[in-house]
Structure formats: structure tokens, C-alpha cells
């Protein structure tokens, strides 16, 4: 019984670490990973859907650092690190 509990905890912790690493990975690196996992002619499947979703999000928002982002040129408060009000 103890071995089963240890296995369940190990699986949950490993899944949490992998998911955290995935979300902390930049979008460009995640796209690179998807390109390696999914063939170029694939049109269906869960990985293709995830790749399309990631591409759509990247196309809409970007990282927020370039001039394409309307709030990128706004004056920033150095105390709070955010936009001045």
C-alpha cells in the first residue's frame, strides 16, 4: 500500500513539474518543440490543435515589448513597474 501511495505522489509531482516547465518555456521554444513532434503535413490531432492555439495566441499578443503593442510606449512607473495612472 505504501508503494502505491509513493507511486501516486511521484506521478503527481512529476506531472506538476513538467507542466510548470512547459508554461515557463517561451512560446518560440514551445513552437520549436511542436515542430519536432508533429510532421509538417499533419492536419489533425491533439498536438496540431495545441500548436494552432499557440500560434494564434502568439499572433494576437506577442511578448508586449515591441512597438506593435499599443501600451509598449506608455510611460512606466519605476516604483511599481507598471503603467503610470
Is the pLDDT assigned to residue 53 strictly greater than 90? no
66 falls within a domain: no
- Output the pTM of the full model: 0.53
**Under DSSP, is residue 73 helix (H, G, I), strand (E, B) or coil?**
coil
pLDDT tens-digit readout, 7-29? 999 999 999 999 999 889 888 88
43 falls within a domain: yes
Q: How far apart are CA 37 and CA 23, in angstroms?
A: 17
71 falls within a domain: no
The domain total for the chain is 1
Range of the domain at 16: 2-59
> CA separation (Å) from 28 to 68, 69, 80?
18, 18, 28
SS3 content of the chain, % helix, strand, coil (to 5): 60, 0, 40
Amino acid at each position: 500500500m505504501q508503494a502505491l501511495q509513493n507511486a501516486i505522489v511521484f506521478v503527481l509531482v512529476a506531472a506538476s513539474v513538467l507542466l510548470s516547465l512547459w508554461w515557463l518555456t517561451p512560446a518560440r521554444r514551445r513552437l520549436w518543440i511542436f515542430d519536432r513532434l508533429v510532421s509538417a503535413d499533419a492536419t489533425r490531432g491533439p498536438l496540431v490543435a495545441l500548436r494552432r492555439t499557440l500560434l494564434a495566441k502568439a499572433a494576437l499578443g506577442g511578448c508586449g515589448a515591441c512597438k506593435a503593442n499599443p501600451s509598449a510606449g506608455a510611460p512606466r512607473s519605476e516604483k511599481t513597474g507598471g503603467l503610470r495612472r
